[in-house]
Structure 1
Amino acid sequence: MNTEDTLAELLREHGRSYAEEAGITLRDKPSPLYQLLVLAVLCSTRIKADIATDAARELFRSRLRTPRVMADTDWQTIVDALGRAHYRRYDESTATALLEGAEVVLRRWGGDLRRLRDEANGDPEAVRELLQEVPRIGPVGAGIFCREAQGLWPELRPFFDDRAREAASSLGLPRTDEGLAGLVAPDELPRLASALVRSGLQH
């Protein structure tokens, strides 16, 4: 199978970003960016990605879509929402992390992660470091955020983590970020990166 056919099959089978699966319509606006941060927090535990995205959907169905609403919500309500999505092993600690994280976003960036971007001044490494000021977000969580946000913030492009690059190599696709970025349009990079991660998880 040539590169073009491999790419087409990969995107056909797995080409849905994690943000899409969580019901987030990503735009460079405060609420969708915060929802992406919530998803990154949920994905930062040892829990299956589909459970994390289901948990994000449940939180958003409960109207917990902004840091102000999250911060003003009682802990048990968050625990219950996570439980409905079967996010049970880490529900209590994650509820605490979400409440504390909402306060950090409000205090540090006025509830608007575009201010975090401004503070990073175009440096993708600075973006990842600042994200890790949020409870539960470590290098993996920061990477998840950047992988999904690269379609919005050009300075993050291209971003593929080790798992995505390994999957690309196993499929005979380019092994470098730049090589992979040459396969799709810039706004398709999150779909490609997510597709590679999903493909890798199946093997």
Structure 2
Amino acid sequence: MTAVADLLDRHGTTYAEQAGIRLRDTPAPLYRLLVLTQLCAIRIRADTAVAAARELFAAKLRTPRAMADSTWQQRVDLLGRAHYVRYDESTATALGEGAELVRRRWRGDLRRLREEAGRDPAAIGRLLREVPRIGPVGADVFRREAQLVWPELRPFFDRRALTAAAGLGLPRSPDALAALVPGDDLARLAAALVRSALS
């Protein structure tokens, strides 16, 4: 088994998959990825962020409308159940504000953000940073996962993935890494590199 095949076998689950998101280019899965990104965008263990996303989704907070219609306390309680502590109150606020922004600006559909950005990866990143709690790292997390369904993002390997690739003796260039796997596996490879660095 090659080093890349072994890496994908051991660590190739995307964070969206782990959170139970079947990513497609439709409004609800893209919004759930945005929520996961908001949860991952602070210094907290990825597994805790994923567990928090699963709690929110199990409570049917899967669309901007449902998230905006939930109460702040409901969101705090759901985050607490996932042991998403210390940031639970500020994150509950950010989730509510983010849902309202997505509803107001993009009418609940992040494909409109994509079109507003002209499908330009850098512009997509800038618009994502307008969502509460999402900074440069969060915008990278979203684009790293969304490249599965938004081909214009390919190949997307953020700084953490590229550093991990270099540490494993793999190319440090996004194009060279992309040549190692089929296009549909780019998100898995990017996630695998990040996960391998964290393991």
TM tier, smaller: over 0.9
Q: Supply the distance in 2 between the matched residues of 1:188 and 1:50 (Cα, whole angstroms).
A: 22
Is structure 2 residue 81 aligned with structure 1 residue 84? yes
Q: Give the % identical residues.
A: 67
Is structure 2 residue 45 aligned with structure 1 residue 59? no
Question: Displacement of 1:169 after TM fit?
Answer: 1.0
TM-score by length of 1: 0.96
Is structure 2 residue 133 aligned with structure 1 residue 136? yes
Aligned equivalent of 1:180: 177
Question: Displacement of 1:8 after TM fit?
Answer: 1.3
TM-score by length of 2: 0.98
Question: Displacement of 1:122 after TM fit?
Answer: 2.0
Instruction: Name the count of aligned residue pairs.
Output: 199
Q: Supply the distance in 2 between the matched residues of 1:94 and 1:166 (Cα, whole angstroms).
A: 29
1:110 to 99, 102, 107: 107
> Residue 104 of structure 1 aligns to a residue in which SS?
helix
Aligned equivalent of 2:14: 17
RMSD after superposition: 0.8
Which runs of structure 1 show a deviation greater than 2 angstroms over 4 or more consecutive aligned residues? none
Aligned equivalent of 2:146: 149
> Residue 2 of structure 2 aligns to a residue in which SS?
helix
Aligned equivalent of 1:163: 160
Amino acid at match of 1:34: Y
Aligned equivalent of 1:29: 26
Amino acid at match of 2:83: H
Q: Supply the distance in 1 between the matched residues of 2:152 and 2:117 (Cα, whole angstroms).
A: 10
Q: Supply the distance in 2 between the matched residues of 1:185 and 1:72 (Cα, whole angstroms).
A: 41
Question: Displacement of 1:89 after TM fit?
Answer: 1.2
Amino acid at match of 1:15: G
Q: Deviations over 1:108-153 (max 9, x none)?
A: 1000000000111121100000011110011011100000000111
> Residue 134 of structure 1 aligns to a residue in which SS?
coil
Question: Displacement of 1:159 after TM fit?
Answer: 0.6
2:198 to 174, 193, 201: 201
Structure 1 unaligned residues grouped into runs of 5+: none
Q: Supply the distance in 2 between the matched residues of 1:146 and 1:190 (Cα, whole angstroms).
A: 9
> Residue 70 of structure 1 aligns to a residue in which SS?
helix
Question: Displacement of 1:9 after TM fit?
Answer: 1.1
Aligned equivalent of 1:46: 43
